[in-house]
Amino acid sequence: MRFPSLLLLLVLIASADARIGETSIQFADRYGLPKDTNLTAIVDKTSPLVEGAIHHTYEYQGWKIRAAFLQLDGPAVRMDFQKLSAPGMSPAIQDYELQAIATANTPAGMSWKPIAYNNPDSPNKGITKAFEAMIAGAGGQKMWQRSDGAILWSRGPIIVRLELPAARQHEEQLKIAKEQKARASVPQF
């Protein structure tokens, strides 16, 4: 019997621990079948995590987990975690729950560090952006970055977002394509 190399073993261990970056099949193995059962639910047009992505929603031990996949068999590039409402339960995510999400999404050899709040969807720039960050911090919004560039974002007391750099890269490509299309549609006066 031949043993796998140490590098392969480390990769397998890291992928077993990490949730962001797993495929929809791995999500189904971990969280059960998604709650969305038809194609219209999968393509979330009202509040997509990532525009144009395939979306699935899972319910797992009192939590709602939304995940966005850029390809049908590709990895999850963005996830939102939120508690399901239940009588007598606070919807606020506690520090120890946030820590559990971070820990579950920390492959071997990686770590998280706090970073300055930076909402990529905000149109604000300069001083206004700094003021926005100050207000967001006072409202409980915090961000951390993993050593591979992934972002963990406490979006206030009830939603935690986790994303890979591929999510923001995809959104930037969409933005550039839309701008190019708009420029191309201008008539030659």
Gap between the Cα atoms of 38 and 54, Å rounded: 12
Residue at 1 is within a domain: no
Q: What is the C-alpha to C-alpha distance for residues 23 and 19, in angstroms, rounded to an integer?
A: 9
Rounded Cα distance, 34 and 105, in Å: 20
Residue 111 located in a structural domain: yes
pLDDT for 78 equals 95
67-73: long-range contacts, CB 8 A cutoff, minimum separation 24: 67/24, 67/27, 68/167, 69/23, 69/24, 70/166, 70/170, 72/24, 73/23, 73/24, 73/25
Distance in angstroms (rounded) separating the CA atoms of residues 135 and 139: 6
**pLDDT at site 180:** 94
Q: What is the pLDDT of residue 6?
A: 40
Q: Rounded to whole angstroms, how far apart are CA atoms 121 and 184?
A: 25
> Strands 76-83 and 63-69: what pairing?
antiparallel
The pLDDT assigned to 1 comes to 41
Q: Would you place residue 44 in the very low, low, confident or very high pLDDT band (cuts 50, 70, 90)? A: low
Averaged pLDDT, 65-71? 94
150 domain-assigned:
yes
Domain interval for residue 137 = 18-179
Please report the pLDDT score of residue 147 as a whole number: 93
Write the pLDDT tens digit of every residue in 84-100: 988 888 899 999 999 99
State the total domains in the chain.
Answer: 1
Query: Would you say residue 2 lies in a domain?
Result: no
Quick check: is 165 in a domain?
Answer: yes
Which residue's entry shows tokens 């120890």? Answer: 96
**Quick check: is 8 in a domain?**
no
Q: Is residue 184 part of a domain?
A: no
Look up residue 143 and give its amino acid: M
142 in Cβ contact with 134 (< 8 Å): no
